[in-house]
């Protein structure tokens, strides 16, 4: 949904001038209507483009403080923007997937907020790995939530299926349930003989 929405915005013309001078709130809302909280995000986009023009000369800021001062931008998004727009890796972007999975794996034990999780992860993960952590864990989290058969097939086809299955079990996947529902498709996707995966 997000990728499709971004394509729509880019095709429309995702510039400060185009959004402020040529795009009504109704049209902007329609362009992003498939994403959650689109009404609030329409307001944030409008307010942010105004601030970009007035304060930053229509340029995207290149500091955490300046980015977090924009409406609707928190630390996670600021870190992603710094990396993508400016090539600056200033920290680990932590969303709900990264927060949950880091706690489940014991990487950030008992943290209550994404910002606490970010501080915990940054305290021990080498800085040269920070750039990749978000993409890897978010991808894994999305597959656990929405593409369990695909993820289970990857585990079964991996170089160490037992450890891969242990990992997804630790992250809350019910192997027996997924196998019962998608067994034939899993067997075909993994190339392995039909047999229910062990859960011990």
Q: Write a three-state SS string for the chain.
A: CHHHHHHHHHHHCCCHHHHHHHCCHHHHHHHCCCCCCHHHHHHHHHHHHHHHHHHHCCCCCCCHHHHHCCCCCCHHHHHHHHHHHHCCCCCCCCCHHHHHHHHHCCCCCCCCCHHHHHHHHHHHCCHHHHHHHHHHHHHHHHHHHHCHHHHHHHHHHCCCHHHHHHHHHHCCCCHHHHHHHHHHHHHHHHCCCCCCCCCC
Q: Exactly one of 22, 34, 43, 76 is catalytic; which is it?
A: 76
Residue 76 annotated to the active site: yes
Report the catalytic residues. Answer: 76
């Amino acid at each position: 949904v997000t990728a499709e929405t971004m394509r729509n915005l880019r095709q429309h013309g995702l510039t400060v001038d185009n959004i402020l001078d040529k795009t009504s709130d109704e049209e902007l809302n329609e362009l992003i209507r498939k994403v959650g909280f689109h009404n609030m995000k329409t307001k944030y986009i409008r307010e942010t483009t105004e601030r970009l023009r007035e304060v930053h000369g229509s340029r995207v800021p290149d500091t955490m403080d300046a980015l977090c001062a924009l409406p609707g931008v928190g630390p996670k998004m600021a870190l992603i923007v710094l990396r993508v727009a400016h090539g600056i890796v200033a920290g680990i972007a932590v969303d709900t997937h990264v927060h949950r999975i880091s706690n489940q794996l014991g990487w950030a034990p008992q943290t209550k907020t994404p910002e606490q999780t970010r501080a915990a992860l940054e305290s021990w993960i080498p800085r040269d790995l920070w750039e990749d952590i978000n993409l890897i864990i978010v991808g894994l989290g999305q597959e656990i939530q929405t593409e369990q058969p695909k993820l289970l097939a990857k585990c079964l086809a991996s170089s160490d299926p037992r450890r891969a299955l242990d990992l997804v079990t630790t992250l809350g996947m019910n192997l027996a349930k997924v196998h019962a529902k998608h067994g034939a498709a899993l067997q075909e996707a993994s190339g392995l003989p039909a047999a229910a995966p062990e859960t011990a």
